[in-house]
Chains A and B, each alone.
Chain A
Amino acid sequence: DAGVIQSPRHEVTEMGQEVTLRCKPISGHDYLFWYRQTMMRGLELLIYFNNNVPIDDSGMPEDRFSAKMPNASFSTLKIQPSEPRDSAVYFCASSPSWAGRAFFGQGTRLTVV
């Protein structure tokens, strides 16, 4: 199994631009999570899906952030417009039936200048 696949690995964009991060979870996993890692806040959960349905988006920082999961094999996290404070590493993770042993992708390092 290829594991959780995230793209791109690195993204540099200018303030105000739209950014889309992509994730392909492990096949058969019912849960998908988006996390953000920063020095100040550590790893924080942004949103998670169960069977493609958003369950908890209380961690999404602002309306500029949105996430979708149109099918079981694909999810996107979009930031529009992006701001320098959005610079962080964004992780996608999936889990077969329960959050505990979530499998993480390698992350997308986002830099907004």
Chain B
Amino acid sequence: DQQVKQNSPSLSVQEGRISILNCDYTNSMFDYFLWYKKYPAEGPTFLISISSIKDKNEDGRFTVFLNKSAKHLSLHIVPSQPGDSAVYFCAVIPGRGGSEKLVFGKGTKLTVNP
């Protein structure tokens, strides 16, 4: 059973427009949520995170929104650039009391067209 679900395997947007990547999770006790980006033939790299005590976190063109009641996480990229084309993984740290496991969704492949 998937604890983290990214229901859209792919997304295509035009350069300059907004990209919205979505993620749903199953457990309301999850504490910390992250987004990672992955280019082909490379490992994932950390992008942005949010704690369960917040509902929004911004870093430049990237904003993560957390809706705890809906158990939903989204990543907004504005404006989208061709270099943003990559696979984006939503991840959570599910444990309390010291568990350090990162659990990933299956990813959404974003293509930004020039």
A residues neighboring B (CB under 8 Å): 4, 31, 33, 35, 41-45, 48, 50, 55-56, 91, 93, 95, 98-107
Whether the Cβ atoms of B107 and A99 lie closer than 8 Å is: no
Whether the Cβ atoms of B43 and A100 lie closer than 8 Å is: no
Whether the Cβ atoms of A33 and B102 lie closer than 8 Å is: yes
C-alpha gap A43/B44 in the complex (Å):
10
Whether the Cβ atoms of B104 and A43 lie closer than 8 Å is: yes
B residues neighboring A (CB under 8 Å): 32, 34, 41-46, 49, 89, 93, 99-107
Closest to A95 in B: B100
Shortest CB distance A6–B (Å): 8
Kindly list chain B residues whose C-beta atoms are within 8 Å of the C-beta of A98: 100
Whether the Cβ atoms of A100 and B49 lie closer than 8 Å is: yes
Kindly list chain B residues whose C-beta atoms are within 8 Å of the C-beta of A35: 104
Closest to A92 in B: B43
Kindly list chain B residues whose C-beta atoms are within 8 Å of the C-beta of A95: 100
Kindly list chain B residues whose C-beta atoms are within 8 Å of the C-beta of A31: 100
Given A100-B32, A100-B34, A100-B49, decide whether A56 and B44 contact each other with a Cβ distance below 8 A: no
Pick the contact of A45: B34, B43, B101, B106 (CB < 8 A): B101
Shortest CB distance A111–B (Å): 15
Kindly list chain B residues whose C-beta atoms are within 8 Å of the C-beta of A43: 44, 89, 104, 106-107
C-alpha gap A106/B77 in the complex (Å):
25
C-alpha gap A55/B106 in the complex (Å):
24
Identify the 8 closest CB pairs spanning chains A and B, nearest first: A104-B43, A42-B106, A99-B100, A43-B104, A101-B46, A99-B102, A104-B44, A105-B43
Whether the Cβ atoms of A56 and B99 lie closer than 8 Å is: yes
Kindly list chain B residues whose C-beta atoms are within 8 Å of the C-beta of A104: 43-45
Shortest CB distance B79–A (Å): 25
Kindly list chain A residues whose C-beta atoms are within 8 Å of the C-beta of B45: 103-104
Whether the Cβ atoms of B101 and A42 lie closer than 8 Å is: no
Whether the Cβ atoms of A100 and B41 lie closer than 8 Å is: no
Shortest CB distance A21–B (Å): 13
Kindly list chain B residues whose C-beta atoms are within 8 Å of the C-beta of A4: 43
Whether the Cβ atoms of A91 and B104 lie closer than 8 Å is: no
